[in-house]
Amino acid sequence: MVYAIALRLRVHRQNTYKNICHRCCMTDNEKGSGADQGNSPRSSKVARVISEYDLDNFGVELENRWLGNSREQQSLRTLADVLNRRILKSAMTESGMLVRQDRINQLYTALTDDETTEGTRLEVLNELNQEGVDTDAVQNDFVSHQAIHTYLREERGVERENNNTDQIAKTQDTIERLQGRLQAVTEKSIKNLISTGRLVLGSFDVIITIQVVCTDCSQQYDIVDLFERGHCDCRVKD
């Protein structure tokens, strides 16, 4: 397999809406680490939101979904989406909104999908705000697949039984640390340019993504998705 790696860096302004991508990419180190005690200063972001949104036993559910206990195994990215939808559902219920799963899915997609237009996202944010949902808080509480992985491994002490798991996890951790470092350096550099008058920019988020492209099967993958998948389409075609 011949492959290419593309690293993308995007800077988003926030003067019209809160961009959730940076928050979703926050690591557990940014929120602290610890047990499932939402009020503990050492709680991870995942543990905190599970506690704050009264998602009783959701940690067990995440564990079972990931390990495939009595069901098909689910990816970390899927688990992050599941938890984020529960967060949105809880906030909508608290505000008195009529909650249907299809509507939750529609609103969540509008808030998180990169293909969503700014106009559509603003319409959804306005709708939720008018119903009494604190959209800033909800978006800030959305979690990333990295945060889910850290929570499962470090707080629940579980790993999938796979001979390659340890090496993949170590590789992923190394890449995520490098992404975090690049993000921090980029943010600091931009703020320095702004403070010295060399750059004019409103509130911003820095988003670091890594895509791996197999030039044999012409498929492109987020690097974490590729690690979880374990292969590109070349294997399928073979």
Residues 106-133 have pLDDT tens digits of 999 999 988 888 899 999 999 999 999 9
Per-residue pLDDT, 14: 45
Nearest CA to 114 out of 12, 26, 229 is that of: 12
Per-residue pLDDT, 56: 87
Per-residue pLDDT, 25: 40
Calculate the alpha carbon distances from 66 to 35, 44, 138, 226 in Å: 19, 18, 24, 16
Asked if 110 and 116 count as a contact pair (C-beta separation under 8 A), the reply is yes
Per-residue pLDDT, 132: 95
Q: Quote the pTM value.
A: 0.59
Calculate the alpha carbon distances from 116 to 16, 105, 107, 112, 150 in Å: 15, 14, 11, 8, 29
What domain range is 218 assigned to?
A: 3-237
Please state the domain count of the chain.
Answer: 1
Exposed, middle or buried, 66 (CB in 10 Å: 0-12/13-18/19+)?
buried
Per-residue model confidence as pLDDT tens digits over 197-213:
999 998 888 888 889 99
Per-residue pLDDT, 38: 46
Beta-carbon count within 10 A of 218 CB: 9
Rg (C-alpha) for the chain, rounded Å, is: 19
Q: Which residues of the chain fall below pLDDT 70?
A: 1-42, 161-166, 235-238
